[in-house]
């Protein structure tokens, strides 16, 4: 009798154990998939703003950093020749991972699609807004993504930033440029070629009220240095094909940006030079009193690789907006470190990367996760949408 009771009790306990065990496995599965890979916002700290004219840049620092040496940037890949970008329909052969040589592509050239070959042994990191020049017209990368090492030629989604040319040109090269936020936003979020062209021509898609600077007690804002009329004149005189690169590296624009960039680099270096046990992994950007943008990376090394061309892009945007003297608060900038709650759109290439977009009100968050060799968020972009 005792033996029978004991067996029943043991069976019940084992049943409960299995039930709770299964429950924990299920919950663990859910938590694992709900958990945010990479660095949670609690591990980021915001430094005081580095400010010049109407642009404020808040350094984002962290005491930990991931090893991102495994990843190749577009600058590195094009410079070494391990990465090639070509028009669709270009002649050429490529060796795939099984060692077989095959024709590279067969279809005709397309405005919004190129072909990319990654012959390196590292995954290639692409950021939305990176510019490649040449081919039939200059293009920008449409969205963040990873390209696996040694992959076969694959289609690459792009947007044109040279409206007036469709003719054979030199091989594609890296322009060492990321287009400024207004153009990048139209490509990344609106995914609309016409809106991209419009943003190139107008300078900024932000609402511009040149009369008064918000919160400045009635003080008028200074006019933008790169406004639509100036861009039109530059197109007429120096950039007849409406090439982004020729417009925003024209003599007048270049003189303004170089002074601006140089001053901000000095101030940024001074602000971040005394860090102990922490490293800069990103920035939050504000124009006047409006916090508008953030780029945060998985490591300080990755941030440094993109910093120069990111800074120039922020400066171009600042020059396209009126000079509002109000400075954004650190509390408002800190909001750009939190995780958004809203509708999620996701794309995944198994074993390579996961791309995720989250929208909450006028804010949009885009994250790129590497899935191998371990799960980590390589890049996090947060935008206060202008449209």
pLDDT, tens only, 36-46: 544 445 589 99
Instruction: Name which of 120-124, 161-165, 210-214, 332-336 the model is least confident about.
Output: 210-214
More confident residue, 167 or 13: 167
Give per-residue pLDDT as tens, 88-116.
Answer: 876 443 444 444 434 343 457 889 999 99
Q: Contact 125/378 with Cβ under 8 angstroms? A: yes
| 3-state DSSP assignment of residue 282 | strand
More confident residue, 16 or 251: 251
Give per-residue pLDDT as tens, 229-247.
Answer: 899 999 999 999 999 999 9
CA-CA-CA-CA torsion sign (225, 322, 57, 72): negative
Q: Residue 52's closest CA among 225, 254, 263, 256?
A: 263
Q: Contact 287/274 with Cβ under 8 angstroms? A: no
Residues 6+ apart with CB under 8 A from 44: 60, 61, 62, 281, 282, 296, 337
> Which pLDDT belongs to residue 12?
45
Give per-residue pLDDT as tens, 272-313.
Answer: 998 999 999 999 999 999 999 999 999 999 999 999 999 999
Q: Contact 160/111 with Cβ under 8 angstroms? A: yes
> Which pLDDT belongs to residue 339?
92
> Which pLDDT belongs to residue 317?
96
Report the 10 Å Cβ neighbour count for 147.
24
How crowded is the C-beta side of 13, counted as CA atoms within 13 Å?
6
Helices (H), 186-250: 193-202, 228-237, 244-248
pLDDT band at 65 (very low <50, low <70, confident <90, very high): confident
Q: Cα(381)–Cα(169) distance, rounded to whole angstroms?
A: 33
> Which pLDDT belongs to residue 211?
46
Q: Strands 72-73 and 124-126: what pairing? A: parallel
> Which pLDDT belongs to residue 255?
87
pLDDT band at 30 (very low <50, low <70, confident <90, very high): very low
Q: Contact 186/199 with Cβ under 8 angstroms? A: yes
Residue 220 has pLDDT above 90, yes or no: no
Write out the two tokens for 115.
């072909």
Q: Residue 366's closest CA among 191, 189, 199, 205?
A: 189
Residue 18 has pLDDT above 60, yes or no: no
Write out the two tokens for 341.
């709650």
Q: Cα(232)–Cα(234) distance, rounded to whole angstroms?
A: 5
DSSP conformation class of 188: I
Residue 171 has pLDDT above 90, yes or no: no
Cβ-count burial of 129 within 10 angstroms (0-12 exposed, 13-18 middle, 19+ buried)?
buried
> Which pLDDT belongs to residue 202?
93
> Which pLDDT belongs to residue 35?
42
The mean pLDDT value of the chain amounts to: 84
Instruction: Name which of 3-12, 44-53, 154-163, 280-289 the model is least confident about.
Output: 3-12
Q: How far is CA 291 from the centre of its chain?
A: 17
- Dihedral pair phi/psi, residue 223, rounded to 5°: -65, 150
Q: Cα(163)–Cα(158) distance, rounded to whole angstroms?
A: 13
Instruction: Name which of 10-19, 163-172, 296-305 the model is least confident about.
Output: 10-19
> Which pLDDT belongs to residue 174?
80
Q: Cα(286)–Cα(263) distance, rounded to whole angstroms?
A: 17
pLDDT band at 32 (very low <50, low <70, confident <90, very high): very low
Q: Residue 337's closest CA among 46, 51, 37, 49?
A: 46
């Amino acid at each position: 009798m005792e033996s029978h009771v004991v067996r029943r009790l043991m069976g019940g306990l084992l049943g409960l154990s299995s039930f709770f065990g299964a429950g924990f496995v299920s919950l663990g599965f859910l938590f694992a998939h709900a958990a945010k890979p990479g660095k949670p916002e609690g591990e980021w700290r915001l430094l005081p703003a580095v400010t010049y004219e109407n642009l404020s840049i808040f350094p984002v620092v962290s005491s930990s950093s991931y090893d991102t040496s495994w990843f190749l940037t577009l600058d590195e890949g094009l410079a070494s020749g391990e990465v090639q970008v070509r028009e669709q329909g270009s002649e050429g052969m490529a060796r795939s991972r099984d060692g077989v040589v095959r024709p590279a592509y067969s279809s005709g050239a397309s405005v919004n699609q190129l072909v990319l070959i990654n012959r390196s042994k590292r995954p290639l990191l692409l950021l939305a807004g990176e510019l490649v020049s040449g081919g039939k017209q200059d293009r920008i990368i449409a969205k963040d993504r990873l390209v696996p090492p040694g992959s076969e030629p694959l289609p690459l989604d792009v947007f044109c930033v040279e409206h007036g040319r469709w003719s054979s040109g030199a091989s594609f090269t890296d322009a060492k440029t990321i287009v400024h936020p207004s153009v990048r936003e139209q490509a990344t979020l609106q995914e609309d070629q016409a809106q991209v062209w419009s943003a190139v021509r107008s300078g900024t898609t932000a609402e511009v009220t040149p009369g008064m600077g918000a919160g400045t007690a009635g003080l008028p804002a200074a006019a933008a240095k790169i406004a639509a009329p100036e861009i039109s004149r530059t197109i007429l005189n120096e950039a007849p094909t409406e090439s982004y690169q020729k417009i925003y590296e024209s003599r007048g624009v270049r003189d303004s940006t170089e002074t601006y960039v140089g001053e901000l680099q000095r101030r940024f270096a001074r602000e971040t030079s005394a860090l102990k046990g922490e490293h800069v992994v990103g920035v939050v950007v504000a124009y006047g009193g409006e916090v508008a943008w953030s780029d945060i990376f998985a490591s300080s090394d990755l941030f440094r690789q993109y910093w120069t061309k990111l800074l120039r892009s922020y400066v171009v945007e600042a020059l396209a907006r009126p000079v509002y003297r109000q400075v954004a608060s650190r509390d408002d900038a800190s909001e750009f470190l939190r995780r958004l709650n809203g509708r999620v759109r996701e794309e995944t290439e198994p074993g390579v990367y996961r791309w995720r977009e989250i929208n909450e009100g006028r804010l949009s968050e885009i994250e790129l996760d590497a899935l191998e060799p371990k799960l980590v968020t390589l890049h996090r972009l947060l935008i206060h949408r202008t449209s």
